[in-house]
């Protein structure tokens, strides 16, 4: 575990921590050091900057105390935020101060200044995506796989304006695309800069009861949903049942809801619910080993789908399609979303992912249009530029 030494106890100390850089100390621990040019005089010269924070699960968390990639820490104590990339890299951050979250407008001092919509580029263009849909259908015909979630990552260069930018984008999404598993996270100590409007539950945990809510099937309205969507949803429910069955008590897996239609801003989804009662020896590492990455954004069988994804997708997904959420370790509670409808900042760019599930019954052009539909509203919000100080959403 990476422990942040000298954890601040009051707001002035927390502000000082936000202006620190971290260096590798003994035993692999990060020790905050004063940033270049920042001392007593530096605090007078430079404007006040927001410290690391997370708004998730209706809570505002501040005061970072620990950063680790060890999921076993989530079975200990304290309140943690969790980001696990689709490729498996985990970042768990424990906070000292947790309280009910205020409106994001209280954290964002200005509106979101988004890039031009036309400035976004895609890791796969239309021709490339349609070609890969055909290659997946060939894999299905050969008996290698039943379903594969094919994704692309959209990116645009942006200036890193720190916590202010994260809070402003989070406020824009909260107003324009409210979501049940929304998250706004700015923790540079852990390289976490994520704003999510996820509608999909990966895992919630209440003591030994865990629940997952896989989404498969998307349309503008319910009448757009097809028989292919229902079949795909049932296929992924079976996969999730199998995943959770690996760590559940005998007979402890159930499906309380199957293919329910849920309305979200600008579209509808087919959503199912899978519930399991865990064995006494199962902690978060075992739960992730059994169920990650989420079945709805990988495919079935999962091992074959992951091989094909690695072959066909040119860009790592990062937090997109991974897990984003919180764990209250001491109380045995947690809620992790699938990292869809999610923006993240990395390498001087703002990124956003979109994708579609490919089956034998897929029409390549329709699958491309589904990726466009899923991105349309969120990119419109993420690309908005304020006019006369008022957001043009």
Ranges of H-type helices in 5-146 = 11-18, 40-45, 126-141
Tokens (6 digits) for 334: 């947690």
Task: Kindly state the average pLDDT of the residues 146-173.
Answer: 94
* The pLDDT of residue 261: 97
Give residue-wise pLDDT tens across range 70-103. 999 999 999 999 999 999 999 999 999 999 999 9
Whether residue 9 has pLDDT greater than 60:
no
Check whether 30 has a pLDDT greater than 90.
no
Contact 133, 371 (CB under 8 A): no
Rg (CA), the chain: 21
Name the token pair of 7: 């954890």
Residue 151 lies in a domain: yes
Place of tokens 């790592």: 316
| Active-site annotation holder among 139, 189, 200, 313 | 200
At residue 388, does pLDDT exceed 70?
Answer: no
Q: How many Å apart are CA 378 and CA 180, to the nearest integer?
A: 15
| Interval 99-144: pLDDT, tens | 999 999 889 989 999 999 999 999 999 999 999 999 999 999 999 9
| Total structural domains within the chain | 1
- Whether residue 220 is contained in a domain is answered as yes
Q: Is residue 246 part of a domain?
A: yes
List Cβ neighbours of 156 (8 Å cut-off, separation of 6 or more). 115, 119, 120, 121, 349, 350, 383
- Secondary structure element (H or E) that encloses residue 308, with its range: helix 302-312
Is 332 within a domain? yes
Which residues, in sequence order, are bridge partners of residue 39? none
The answer to whether the CB of 214 falls within 8 A of the CB of 236 is: yes
Q: What is the pLDDT of residue 50?
A: 76
Return the pLDDT at 274.
98
200 is catalytic: yes
Q: How many CB atoms are located within 10 Å of the residue 332 CB?
A: 13
- In the block, tokens 């598993």 appear at 181
pLDDT in the model for residue 382: 94
Q: Which domain holds residue 180?
A: 117-382
Residue 232 is assigned to a structural domain of this protein: yes
Residue of 139, 216, 232, 275 marked active site: 216
Residue 271 lies in a domain: yes
Q: Is residue 345 a part of any domain in this protein?
A: yes
Is residue 77 included in any domain, yes or no?
no
CATH code: domain of residue 250: 3.60.120.10
Asked which of 24-28, 154-158, 383-387 is least confident by mean pLDDT, the reply is: 24-28
């Amino acid at each position: 575990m990476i422990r942040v030494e000298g954890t601040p106890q009051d707001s002035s100390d927390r502000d000082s921590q936000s202006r620190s850089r971290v260096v590798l100390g003994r035993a692999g621990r990060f020790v905050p050091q004063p940033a270049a040019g920042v001392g007593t005089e530096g605090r007078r010269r430079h404007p006040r900057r927001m410290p690391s924070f997370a708004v998730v699960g209706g809570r505002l968390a501040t005061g970072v105390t620990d950063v680790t990639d060890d999921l076993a820490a989530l079975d200990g104590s304290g309140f943690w935020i969790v980001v696990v990339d689709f490729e498996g890299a985990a970042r768990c951050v424990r906070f000292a101060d947790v309280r009910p979250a205020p409106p994001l407008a209280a954290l964002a001092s200005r509106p979101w200044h988004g890039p031009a919509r036309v400035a976004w580029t895609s890791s796969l263009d239309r021709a490339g995506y349609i070609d890969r849909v055909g290659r997946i259908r060939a894999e299905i015909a050969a008996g290698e796989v039943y379903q594969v979630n094919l994704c692309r990552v959209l990116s645009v260069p942006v200036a890193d304006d720190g916590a202010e930018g994260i809070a402003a984008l989070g406020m824009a999404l909260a107003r324009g695309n409210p979501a049940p598993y929304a998250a706004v996270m700015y923790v540079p100590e852990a390289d976490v800069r994520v704003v999510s409007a996820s509608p999909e539950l990966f895992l919630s945990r209440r003591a030994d009861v865990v629940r997952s809510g896989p989404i498969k099937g998307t349309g503008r309205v319910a009448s757009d949903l097809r028989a292919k969507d229902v079949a795909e949803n049932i296929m992924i429910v079976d996969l999730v049942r199998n995943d959770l069955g690996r760590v559940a008590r005998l007979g402890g897996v159930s499906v309380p809801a199957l293919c329910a239609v849920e309305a979200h801003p600008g579209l509808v989804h087919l959503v199912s619910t899978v519930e399991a009662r865990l064995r006494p020896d199962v902690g978060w590492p075992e739960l992730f080993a059994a169920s990650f990455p989420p079945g709805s954004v990988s495919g079935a069988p999962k091992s074959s789908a992951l091989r094909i994804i690695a072959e066909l997708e040119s860009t790592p997904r990062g937090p997109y399609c991974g897990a984003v959420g919180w764990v209250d370790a001491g109380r045995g509670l947690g809620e992790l979303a699938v990292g869809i409808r999610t923006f993240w900042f990395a390498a001087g760019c703002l990124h956003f992912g979109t994708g579609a599930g490919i089956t034998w019954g897929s029409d390549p052009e329709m699958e491309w249009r589904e990726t466009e539909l899923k991105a349309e509203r969120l990119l419109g919000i993420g690309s908005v530029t304020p006019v006369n100080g008022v957001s043009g959403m």
